[in-house]
Amino acid sequence: MPTKATARLALSCLALLSALAAQAQPATAADAATPAPAPAPASAAAYAAAQARWRNELGAFAATDRDRLPAAGGVLFVGSSTIRMWSRLAQDFRDHPVVLNRGFGGSTMADCSLFARDLVVRYQPRLVLVYAGDNDLAEGRTPLQVLESFAQFVNTVRAELPGTRIAYISIKPSPSREKLLPLVREANHAIEAYLQRLPDSDYIDVFTPMLDAEGRPRAELFLGDRLHMNDEGYRLWQSLIASHLSPSTSVAQGIR
């Protein structure tokens, strides 16, 4: 259940959610005829800084693509180390011929939004699943800033791939970041509310199943660092995410 603080957040950001969802609608023919504005200097500077920070990771992806560029129409996972460390990702979703892992450890939702073209658009997936946001909160960003970064990510993807479905995997409750749980809940609820206004999108709740009966993170799902998941945690995620990978299933169930 949303807390009172979350309810206040939902009321305060209602106008923001409406504006963000409107921005993410597919472009019309008239819109397509109008050139997109050039990035603002601040955005260009942020992108350059992020490129420098993640040079090795981006270079590794580029090298993999040079060996064999993945086919379009696949399922792409992008986000932080939780995605990067999912070593059995392709095997866990082996029923889908193209499953890409573009996770880069330590990254934020802000980073993912900056690299949306590099790590998503260029592969032309039919479905992109995003896991990011907990590092943003750990670095001091607010739930609304996480929402805004995710919306920027969505806008970039939808501008060039209007037919691609977008799913957000909720921020998980890590034992090492238990003090952040109120902020995690706010960020998750804000993004869920945003996605409820956005066509062809899913909100995947992994947060709730990762809590015990007392509402605390389930330690048995995590490695010794109490931040990253173990095999049991990934098995849980696979069971929660699998139904979202089928376009007909997600539409028929009205999943959010």
Q: Which domain CATH number covers 164?
A: 3.40.50.1110
Q: Provide the residue range defining the domain that includes 178.
A: 4-20+69-253
| Cβ atoms of 75 and 125 closer than 8 Å | yes
Rounded Cα gap, residues 193 and 256, in angstroms: 9
SS (H, E, C) the chain: CCCHHHHHHHHHCHHHHHHHHHHCCCCCHHHHCCCCCCCCHHHHHHHHHHHHHCHHHHHHHHHHHHHCCCCCCCEEEEECHHHHCCCCHHHHCCCCCCEEEEECCCCCHHHHHHCHHHHCHHHCCCEEEEECCHHHHHCCCCHHHHHHHHHHHHHHHHHHCCCCEEEEECCCCCHHHHHHHHHHHHHHHHHHHHHCCCCCEEEECCCHHHECCCCCECHHHECCCCCCECHHHHHHHHHHHHHHHCHHHHHHHCCC
Does any domain span residue 41?
no
Does any domain span residue 63?
no
Residues in the chain: 256
Does any domain span residue 49?
no
pLDDT value at residue 33? 38
Does any domain span residue 60?
no
Confidence of residue 246 (pLDDT cuts 50, 70, 90): confident
pLDDT of 51 above 60: yes
Residue range 55-76: average pLDDT? 95
What is the identity of the amino acid at 162?
A: P
Does any domain span residue 56?
no
pLDDT of 109 above 80: yes
Confidence of residue 256 (pLDDT cuts 50, 70, 90): very low
| Structure confidence by residue, pLDDT tens digits, 160-186 | 999 999 999 999 999 999 999 999 999
Does any domain span residue 188?
yes
What is the identity of the amino acid at 233?
A: G
Residue range 6-19: average pLDDT? 53
Does any domain span residue 64?
no
Does any domain span residue 106?
yes
Residue among 16, 10, 1, 22 at smallest CA distance from 193: 10
Q: Which residue has the higher pLDDT, 256 or 212?
A: 212
Identify the weakest region by mean pLDDT among 118-127, 192-201, 242-251: 242-251
pTM of the model: 0.84
Share of the chain above pLDDT 90, in %: 77
Counting the structural domains of the chain, the total is: 1
Residue range 204-214: average pLDDT? 98
